[in-house]
Every structure is written in C-alpha cells, then in structure tokens.
Amino acid sequence: MTSTEQLSSAATWWSQAHADDHLLVAYFSMEFGVDVRLPIYSGGLGILAGDHLKAAAELGLPLVGVGLLYRGGYFTQGLSDEGRQTETYTPIDPQSLGLHREPVTVHVDLAGETVTAAVWRYDVGVGPTSTVPLYLLDVDLLTDALYSGDREHRIRQELLLGVGGVRALAALGLEPTVFHVNEGHSAFLAIERARILVGHGMSGDDALEHIRRSTVFTTHTPVPAGNEVFDDVLVLRYVGGLAADAGISGETLLALGRTPDTDGFGMTPLALRLSAYANAVSALHGEVAREMWAGLWPSQEPRIGHVTNGVHLGTWIAPELGELLRSAGVRPEAPPAEGGWDAVHELDSETFWQTHMLLKERLARLSGLGAGPLTIGFARRFATYKRAGLVFSDLERLLALPVQIVVAGKAHPQDVPGKDVMQRIVELSRDPAVAGQVVFLENYNIELAQAIIPGCDIWLNTPRKPYEASGTSGMKAAVNGVPNLSVLDGWWAEAYDPSVGWALAGSSDEADAAELYRLLEDEVVPRFADRGAWVELMQTSIARLAPAFSMQRAVIEYTERYYLPAALARAGR
C-alpha cells in the first residue's frame, strides 16, 4: 500500500472537514449499550450512548466515553410459571470481554469515606475504522448493579461517575475541551471541574461561567421518574464538601438544583444551569422541555434546542440487507449525503423481497410463528406510558386479522405497574386460543432487537403523547424497510408521511385503539397483500429515513452546533 492510499483509507469526515480544529469531547453517560456481552445498559438511553460512540468512531471525531462498569450488569430476564418477570444478575468478567485495565486509579470522597476506583478501557470501533475509547470506572461494591433503587446508593454512583470520571481523564493525561452530560446523572462533574479551577486561583463565579461555556447537556425524557431528584440533606452530605472547595456555599449548591415546582435537588436543573448548550432529542420534545423547564429562567427564553436522535446504521441494518444495499452503491458507513440513498429504489423488487423473507424466516425460527404472515413487532421497555396493552384491548378484533404479533421487553426491576402489564401479555401469549398469533420473546437486549426488528413487517409504537421524547426502535425498523405504525410523538412526528407508514393521533386510549384497528383492517392488511406496493413502501422507508435518522447525522449536528462552538468559546477566554 502506498502512503497516499493509506491516507485516503484513513480519511474520515473529521479529518476532511475539521482537520484544523482542536477538539476533545468527553461524553459522560450512566449507561452504554455497545455490545450485548457488556450489559451496562437498561434500554434506549444506553443504546443511544453506545450508538453515539460508534458513529463518532466512524466519523473520526475526537471523543472519549466515560461510564461505570457495573460488576453485576443489568439483569437477564426470565419468566415464572405465572408469567412474572424474573431477574438474574451474572457477574461481568472484564478481561474476557476485551476490556483493558488502565494503569491509573481514582479516589473519590463519599461522605467521609474514600473509595478507590479502577479504570477499564473498552475500544469502540466498527471494522477497520478508527476507534473511540470508552473508560469505565469500577468500584467493586459501588458499581454492583445498574439501578439498584436505593437513593443513597444512587447518589454515590453519580458522584463516582461525575467526579471520578473527571479525575480519571486527568490521570490518563487527557484534557477534554468539551464535556457532554448525557442525561443529568453525571452533572456533578461540573462541580469537580469548578473545584479544580478554583484551586488554580480562579474565582468561583468565573469558574462556573467557564464550565458553562464548555458543557453540552442532553435531556432525554419528560417522564418525572427519568428526571432524578435527591433530598437536600443527601446532597449536602455528599456534595457539600466538594462544592465548598469550589467556592460554592451549601445554599448556592442547593439553588443550582432547585426545581421550579417540586421539592428537592434535581439533576436536570443542575445540568441545565451549568451548561451553555442544552438540547432535547426531537423537535416535539424540544417544545415540551422548554415548557417544562421555563421556570428555571423566569425572565428569559428557555434556551433548550433539539438534536433528533439517530441510530448507528452499521449496528441496526441487518447484515444481509446491508450487503444488498452496498450492491446498489449505498454506503451505510458513510456520512449521509444528499440523494445518497436514492439507489435503494433501483433494487430489483423480487430480490429485495427475498432478502426480507430471509430475515422473516430467521425471526420465525426464534418465535415459533410462521414466516409468511404479516408480522407486527412491539418491543421496548415496559414503562406504562408506552401502553403495550393498547393493541390487545379488543382481542377478538385483533385475532380476526391475518396478523401475528411478536412482543419483547424488560420492565425496570422496581416498576410494578410495568411488570403487571408485561405479565398480562405473557399470560395472553400462553393462552392456547391465542398462542399461534401472539408470542413473547424473553430477555430483550441488543442481540434480540437485531433479530426481531428486521424480521417484522410493521413496527408498532403506541406511547401516551408527549412522553416518548424520541424513541429509537422505530428508527431501527425504518432503516430495515419495516414501516412504522405509531403515535405522532417523538421522532415519528418528524418522520411520518404516508409514503413511509401510518400515524395515530395520540389522544385517548379508546380513540387511539379504534384508529389502530381501523388502520390495520382497512389499510395495512390490504396493502401487505399487494407485494409491489409493499416493497415500494419498504424501499421508500429506507431511502428517506436511513440518512435522516442515522446516528452519524446526529453526531455531525452535535459537533457543528455545540461541540465546536463550545470548544471555541472556551479557547476564546
């Protein structure tokens, strides 16, 4: 290989578009879904963070991830005889998963007790492209499990991530120019950064202003349980000393986390107050978030923008379909370009359908259902706002249709109402009268999602509007040519038009259910019977939605709208 060839094969979007820019992004998240064997994610938030790192690696973006290594991981889901979720935690063995122990340790004070964390590195990379390091802090006892439920345990984990994460990067000799706080969990990192600046002689106010200018914050949900709140007493006990070292009084600290209309210390208000760049994850969520947090800036326009989420196409487009797309000259690994996916329409309709049938057959082997019938997929976390029971609300009418349904998803270990909904669906799927048409697949994770989604014909999402801030499984379906039938919430409110699927208004349960059945009976089932029209729908879904909802598009937006301006604002000081 000549040196020019080496250069061109190594050229990335970053090296071509931004070679002269100085940037290092530190991306902090409580969860990362990068590999099914590393269960340190519970659902959409973690997988999004994993996809962010993968897309950054492909783009050549200078970015590192920072998270926690939960020794017990997230649970493996089983089902009891009563159809109730069972939870098993299997210890993670970092070495066997290709994690490397870094030669540094980090100390963090937790209410008078000093804990020492080891730091592991996991290289996130896709094929021969550049990689992004993910640093995971590990304190045997503290990082036992993701979401154990105890508030004190939780604030200790969040301090370890925020404060320990900043110290780990320094110990590794890294000097990030921008910190991205992915959901409020890691927002204590700002207090630690202030402490360092004040230690170098800066005033407390100047330090906070400096930190604001180099911090990007992404809020992910309007659901109250997703916006974490701690008791003031707990915050003062755990963070008071650190804040004092940063020149921040106890009173000022509590004011930074005050929420407009509830008691306690909110991690979302803290993150919003300490970041100059804040965003929601879809256009509609942007509107909701601005309204939700308007009370934080009574005399000002709330400055929350939006970057609509995306999915990492290399992870989520089924390999067989990816091959077929490449044969038409489409490159899922390249940054999305105008018209870059139009060639999907030139693919021979019969070959295209045969590829989809392969994926349907694979799912059929897994589910025990047939490969032929119209298959509806519904898989996501069982949170009650997702209304998993809606499609089953008139069972007789549903079962009269020539369709079958594949359901999967975990409920949060503490979410009793979510577990109840799940149990009812599992019981239903075990009823002999229904069994041939409804199946529940256990232990939804990255691998199962990769098997289910491309093998379906319709992807269903029926959240209570406006609680689905974005939703990403629908994007994974769309990029595999699986049309969505969903409530006009989150990403679908932006993506929907009749050429790529069907829409529900998102009003009352009764109205949405009635419209759902009408669409299935009058539109979806008849259209599915017309193979040519259906393939056209599938191809349009891919050609229009893959470039628009690719994670590379989202990461490029973050870079150009937030990371680079934040790095410049900091340098300009």
Residue ranges binding ligand PLP (CB under 6 A): 43-44, 47, 380-381, 444-446, 449, 471-474, 476
Shortest gap between Cβ of 463 and ligand PLP (angstroms)? Answer: 8
Shortest gap between Cβ of 487 and ligand PLP (angstroms)? Answer: 12
Shortest gap between Cβ of 476 and ligand PLP (angstroms)? Answer: 6
Q: Which is nearer to ligand PLP, 29 or 445 (CB)?
A: 445
Beta bridge partners of residue 109, listed in sequence order: 114
Please give the Cα distance from 391 to 462 (Å, whole number).
Answer: 8
Beta bridge partners of residue 28, listed in sequence order: 66, 181
Shortest gap between Cβ of 104 and ligand PLP (angstroms)? Answer: 32
Concatenating the DSSP letter of every residue in 239-259 gives HHHHHHHTT--HHHHHHHTB-
Give the distance from CA 423 to its chain's centroid: 25
Shortest gap between Cβ of 550 and ligand PLP (angstroms)? Answer: 14
Radius of gyration of the chain (CA): 24
- Locate 526 and state its tokens: 């008849």
Q: How far is CA 470 from CA 50, 183, 281, 316, 463, in A?
A: 16, 14, 6, 17, 11
Instruction: Report angle CA 382, 79, 453 to the nearest 5 degrees.
Output: 50
Q: Which is nearer to ligand PLP, 439 or 477 (CB)?
A: 477
Q: Which is nearer to ligand PLP, 31 or 138 (CB)?
A: 31
Q: Which is nearer to ligand PLP, 40 or 139 (CB)?
A: 40
Shortest gap between Cβ of 316 and ligand PLP (angstroms)? Answer: 8
Q: Which is nearer to ligand PLP, 79 or 294 (CB)?
A: 79
Shortest gap between Cβ of 211 and ligand PLP (angstroms)? Answer: 31
Pairing of strands 113-125, 501-504: unpaired
Please give the Cα distance from 31 to 158 (Å, whole number).
Answer: 11
Shortest gap between Cβ of 451 and ligand PLP (angstroms)? Answer: 11
Please give the Cα distance from 520 to 517 (Å, whole number).
Answer: 5
The neighbour count for residue 33, using CB atoms within 10 Å, is: 26
Q: Which is nearer to ligand PLP, 257 or 310 (CB)?
A: 310
Q: Which is nearer to ligand PLP, 378 or 534 (CB)?
A: 378
The kind and range of the H/E element at 46 are helix 44-59
Instruction: Report angle CA 347, 353, 355 to the nearest 5 degrees.
Output: 90
3 state SS for 209-230: HHHHHCEEEECCCCCHHHCCEE
Instruction: Report angle CA 555, 500, 531 to the nearest 5 degrees.
Output: 130
Instruction: Report angle CA 341, 345, 351 to the nearest 5 degrees.
Output: 115
- Locate 479 and state its tokens: 């990029």
Shortest gap between Cβ of 483 and ligand PLP (angstroms)? Answer: 15
Q: Which is nearer to ligand PLP, 356 or 476 (CB)?
A: 476
Q: Which is nearer to ligand PLP, 254 or 551 (CB)?
A: 551
Q: How far is CA 115 from CA 107, 118, 143, 305, 417, in A?
A: 6, 10, 11, 37, 36
Shortest gap between Cβ of 511 and ligand PLP (angstroms)? Answer: 22
Q: Which is nearer to ligand PLP, 43 or 506 (CB)?
A: 43
Shortest gap between Cβ of 389 and ligand PLP (angstroms)? Answer: 16
Q: Which is nearer to ligand PLP, 44 or 336 (CB)?
A: 44
